[in-house]
Amino acid sequence: MASPRLLRKCLLAALPAALVAAASVAPAAHADPTPRAAQAVTFSDTFDGAAGSGVDQGKWQVETGDNVNNHERQYYTAGNNNAKLDGQGHLVIEARRENPANYQCWYGSCEYTSSRLNTSGKFTATYGHVEARMKIPRGQGIWPAFWMLGQDIGDVGWPNSGEIDIMENVGFEPGTVHGTLHGPGYSGSGGIGAGYSLPNGEAFADAFHTFAVDWAPNKITWSVDGAVYQTRTPADLNGNTWVFDKPFFLILNLAVGGYWPGDPDGSTSFPQQLVVDEVKVTTSDG
């Protein structure tokens, strides 16, 4: 397990696509026509367990603290205070308007609690199909994410570590999710990515959806429910370095407020829940 000092560094150094301007919706999604070779599961969590229990500590660690870099408003709590199993095969990450332990944030007394989990020191992947089936929350200032960071972040820092945002949603766009790459020369507002929108005014919070990337040397492809909406290669980086050919760890979190989503307002109800049905990583045998 990484040291608490490293975990804190990861929490504060990692800057999810906070400053990314609303990415343009990609061209019409299409099914990936490439037949997939036989797959081997390298990581899987279906969150089976007793209601109220915490996540499998052999797979996940729970980060704690606030995040001044993004100007998020929540405090990420320890243990199963804000992340627990529901007894029906789901992980529930819950954001609440509360401060039961007088947590201190960058702006003073914290106003919200939530949870952030990662697999650093427990599982990393280099290439493969990485997916999560989730039902995301809704509301102004609510910011769920499923993403990855280079395991070397403690040595090289962010954005040299690289960041692969598989799914981010900001509450003012209930029907759109974003996939983004961050690295040296293309981070923050310069992240390389696109958005995917549901048809007919549907909201992602209304049902479970599967968010995934297919990751190979010099190529990453994003999909929602199997529909591909963008592919990125080194040719997209305007001459900058591709830093995605090394081990990355997984992150699940539910943030409240920040530069990109803005803060909650009178229309935002609490608690809000990110409900995760499964997280799985598979790699092809050829």
Count CB neighbours of 235 within 10 A: 9
Structure tokens at 2: 């990484």
Residue 7, CA atoms < 13 Å, CB-side half-sphere: 21
Give residue 92's region: left, alpha or beta (phi > 0; psi -120 to 50).
Answer: beta
Beta carbons within 8 Å of 225's beta carbon, 6+ residues apart: 209, 210
Q: Which of 111, 168, 173, 202 is catalytic?
A: 168
Following DSSP, what letter does each residue of 84-108 receive, concatenated? Answer: EE-SSS-EEEEEEE--TT--EETTE
For strands 112-114 and 248-256, give the pairing: unpaired
Give the E-state strand segments of the chain in sequence order: 30-31, 39-45, 61-63, 74-76, 83-85, 91-97, 104-105, 108-109, 112-114, 116-118, 128-135, 142-150, 163-168, 176-182, 192-197, 209-216, 219-224, 227-232, 248-256, 272-284
Looking at residue 53, its amino acid is S
Q: Which of 63, 72, 94, 163 is catalytic?
A: 163
For strands 83-85 and 91-97, give the pairing: antiparallel
Active site (annotated) includes residue 98:
no
The residues that are catalytic are 163, 168
